[in-house]
Structures are given as C-alpha cells and as structure tokens.
Amino acid sequence: MNMDKPIRRVAIFGLLLFFGLMAQVNYVQGSEAESLRTDPLNTRRFSEVFNNPRGQITADGQVLVKSFPTGKSNPKYGRTYKDGLLYSPITGYFNGGASKVEMAYNSLLGGTDKRITHQRWFDTFIGKKPEGADLELTLNTAAQETAYRRLKAQTSQGRRGGVAVIDIRTGAVQVLASFPSFDPNEVAPQTGLTGGKRLEALDAQTGVIKPLIDNAMSQTFPPGSSFKIVTSAIAMDGGAINSQSQVSTGQLVLPESNKALPNSHDTGQCGGTATLRGAFAESCNTTFGKLALEMGIDKLNAGATKFGFNRKFEIEPDVQPAESDVPVEYFDPATKKKIRTGRDGTARSGIGQENVRATPLQMAMVAAATANKGKIMKPYLVERARAKDQSELYRARAQEYAQAMKADTADQLADMMRAVVTEGTGKSLAQYGIAGKTGTAEQGEGNPNARWFVGFAPMEKPRYAFAVVTEGPESGGANAGPIAGEVMRQVLKK
C-alpha cells in the first residue's frame, strides 16, 4: 500500500492549520490590537500608559513637550514641558488623563493610533511597542512669548487676559496666549500623587481665576465696542447703508427705561451726524445702539451666527473653544425663567454689552472676515504629525468655516478699521502698522473693564487677524492696543 499520499495530505493539512493560526495571531495582534488595548475590560491599559515614551510636540523647530525615562518602574516615563506657562493653553497636560493637544492627539502621541499600528504591524507581531508620533504646531513661538509677557505686565492683579492670532488664508493659529496660566510640569506623570492633588486643586479653584480654563479660546468676555464690527456688517450686508451713509450719532434714549445710552464723548463725529465710517472710527455708541434696535435682536443674533457666535466647533478633535453668544433670551436668576432680550437690551447688545460674550479667538475670526473678503477659515493648532521614521501620518488642510458677509461689505469694514487707527480711537497705535477696533466693556459693579483691540495686520494687504483682551481700568486702545502691536511685530517678522 502506498503510504506517501496520506502522509502528504496530513502534512498539507498541518501546514494549512499552521498558516491559519499565524493569520489569526497576525489579525489579533495587528489589526485588532487597538480595539483590544482600549477594551474597558483590559486592565493592562491603565498600567501601560506610562510604560512607553510619548511623541514630542514641537513648534518653530523647538521641542516644547517630550518624554524622558524616570529610572523607576512606575512611571517608567515622565513628561516635560518647556515654558509650560506659555504653551499650556495649546499643549494642555498629560498625566494619564489629558487636555488640549495632548488629548486631541492622544493615540498618535501614545503610539496606539491605527495609522501607526497598521503601518508597523510586524513590530506589533513580534512584540515591539510602536513608538508615538511627533506633532508640529502652527505657533509662532516668539510672538507667543511676547503675548504672554505683555499680558502678564498689562493685566490687573488678580484678573485675566488673552491673545489670539490666526492666519487669515489658512486658519493656522499663530498665537494663543493666556494669563494667568498653569504649568503642566506640576501635574506630569513623574509628580505622582502630588501632581494629582495639584490638578484637583487647580480644577477646584473658585472665582474668576481658573488657570485650567485658558482665556484665549476657552473663556468669554463682553466684547464691548469691538462687537461694532459685527453690528456694522449685518447692517451693511442688508443693503440699507454703506460706510459713507450719513447716520445719527446724537443722543439715544432707550425705549423701555427712557435712559440715555451714553457716548464716551459728544463732540467730533459723535456730535450729531456723521458717516458710518466716522461713527465707527470714533466709536459712537448711539449709532450702533440704533442700528441694533432697527434690525432687532433676532436679526442681530442670526447675523452674528454667520461669524461663529451661538454655535460650537472643534479646533482639534474633541477640543471645542467656548461658545460665544448673542442671546435672544437669557436666564433670569430672580424668576428662574428664560426671558427674551428686550429693546433696551437689544441696543446694548449692538455695542457688545448686555449678555453678549466672546472669546478672543472668536473676535480674531471676526477680524479675519473683514480682512479676507468676508471669508473665515477654520482655526487649527496642529500642522502635521510624523512617525519616528519621519513618514507623514497627518497634515492639516485649510477649510473654509464660514462666509460671514459679502466681499464688498468686508472691504468697506476693513477701510473703517483702518480709519480707527488713522483718525479715531486708536490713533496712538499708528506706529504699529495695524488696523482694528477698540473696545472697552463694563463687567458689572466692582469688576474691572474688559479692554479689547481686535484687528488685522499689515494694515494693507493683511495676512493675519488678532484679538487681545485684558481686564483692568481705562480703555482698550490704551491697554490692549499696544499688546496687539508688539505681538504683531513678532508675527510679521516671519
């Protein structure tokens, strides 16, 4: 009897079983590695989070965040942050949990993202841990440093300030600075229980100072007269007026309270009548209160929504800036009911008071629309991600966020913002070559003003939009304006 044929069949069957087993192992350890690692029943995922180095975070060729071996069994790797107070509004922190960019790109930085594990499947198969990807931020580090330093010097003690600068062509964020801030080195993995307690203390901090909530994109302030950019855009887009139309700048008696809405002065362009351009340059409250009354709160709300108010967006995955608002109704703590914004409130909303709130990032987006034919590009913080072999895993793509107004309206508003600096409330800022709108918003009895300067640079052929807010006495032109000027000098050096 010929035994070769049965033996061959058994051998072939054995080989098929072997290759089937290999394929299954490859599938489990390669393709399914990520889902198994993140399975909530897998307790090893909690112990392994500190066992491997995370990728670096860089900007302008500088390493801002990196991992290092601690020489301990737990955590095996720590995390260090260069100039943590400057960059934490963007990088956030990592201590097992994470925030900001550390959170948004956690799987890439940690080496568990499918873009890494699928690319390096053989490493996974033989038990070699995939290495985390490195991120490159969009920031201008010199301008970021200038912004933080000037905010610290110009913001009243115990109060807040923020700066946002974006590229009007792409949406790339150049500056996102906040004061006060926090140092993520204090809560990094190597700090152990001490860091955990520090994070809890920061999170539980009461009052207006909340270091974990940055003042550039995560905190809102009343925008004051800088909001007149939006009010003007809505009125002009409707076609009833343009920058050269004659408007009333004289007294406005509010219809419900019979109280006057005051101007900062009742001379010059604010003395009775002026062009819209002139009223804007000298920031006549009465003009923009009247425009808001004429359009009504619903139209003011809808027009502001085109700029990004009253809605949320993700600047990076799972990272949402605070929502800026022009409320049609508000919650009344006395009656514990929602109340519609009245006529007096509508007039005050038109000048960025009442319940209008905005982040510096949102106001930079408003300025970007004026400088870019009405178009706003979606802001972003991360330019690209690279694997350790330098292969590109991710690259940001410029995306249009909104067409906030007509191109002709934007061109007229840009000219009006130049007039603020050449002949209006921002004349002291002419030396910086920037255009913009001043704003000084009251924040209630016992609280300092929110002082704004919002605009673009260069004055002609603009490339960047910015917004600066600080809290303290006096005006936006005198306090926020010089910060904007110095920051933009650094931005434009590139």
Q: What integer pLDDT is reported at residue 118 of this predicted model?
A: 65
Residue 241 tokens, joined: 């007026």
74 part of a folded domain: no
Residue type, 32: E
Residue type, 126: I
C-beta separation of 88 from 181 below 8 A: yes
Percent of the chain past pLDDT 70, that is, above it, reads 88
CA distance 93 to 112: 18
* pLDDT surpasses 70 at 132: yes
Residue 9's pLDDT band (cuts 50, 70, 90): low
CA distance 230 to 308: 11
Q: What integer pLDDT is reported at residue 334 of this predicted model?
A: 86
* pLDDT surpasses 60 at 34: no
278 part of a folded domain: yes
Start-to-end CA span in the chain (Å) = 87
Helix axes 285-307, 360-371, angle to 10 degrees: 90
Interval 68-75 mean pLDDT: 92
CA distance 225 to 439: 4
What does the pLDDT look like over 267-323, one tens digit per residue?
Answer: 999 999 999 999 999 999 999 999 999 999 999 999 999 999 999 999 999 999 999
Burial letters 172-191, b for 16+ CB under 10 A, else e: bbbbbbbbbbbbbbbbbbbb
Q: What integer pLDDT is reported at residue 333 of this predicted model?
A: 87
Q: What integer pLDDT is reported at residue 201 of this predicted model?
A: 95
Say which DSSP state 148 is in.
Answer: H
127 part of a folded domain: no
237 part of a folded domain: yes
Range of the domain at 344: 144-204+216-491
Three-state secondary-structure class, residue 442: coil
448 part of a folded domain: yes
95 part of a folded domain: no
What is the CATH number for 337? 3.40.710.10
Percent of the chain past pLDDT 90, that is, above it, reads 80
Q: What integer pLDDT is reported at residue 7 of this predicted model?
A: 66
CA distance 472 to 259: 26
Interval 120-142 mean pLDDT: 77
* pLDDT surpasses 70 at 6: no
Say which DSSP state 226 is in.
Answer: G
Q: What integer pLDDT is reported at residue 494 of this predicted model?
A: 81
* pLDDT surpasses 80 at 46: no
pTM of the model: 0.89
In terms of Cα–Cα distance, which of 190, 232, 8 is closest to 95? 190
* pLDDT surpasses 50 at 30: no
Q: Into how many domains does the chain fold?
A: 1
Interval 182-198 mean pLDDT: 96
* pLDDT surpasses 60 at 2: no
Higher-confidence residue of 9 and 253: namely 253
* pLDDT surpasses 50 at 471: yes
365 part of a folded domain: yes
Residue written as token pair 């406005």: 252
Phi/psi of residue 163, nearest 5 degrees = -135, 135
Residue 120's pLDDT band (cuts 50, 70, 90): low
Q: What integer pLDDT is reported at residue 206 of this predicted model?
A: 85
211 part of a folded domain: no
CA distance 473 to 448: 6
User: Is residue 196 classed exposed, middle or buried when 0-12, 13-18 and 19+ CB atoms within 10 A define those classes?
Assistant: middle
| Average pLDDT taken over every residue of the chain | 91
Q: What integer pLDDT is reported at residue 12 of this predicted model?
A: 67
**Checking phi first, is residue 417 left (phi over 0); if not, alpha (psi -120 to 50) or beta?**
alpha
Q: What integer pLDDT is reported at residue 476 of this predicted model?
A: 94
Q: What integer pLDDT is reported at residue 346 of this predicted model?
A: 98
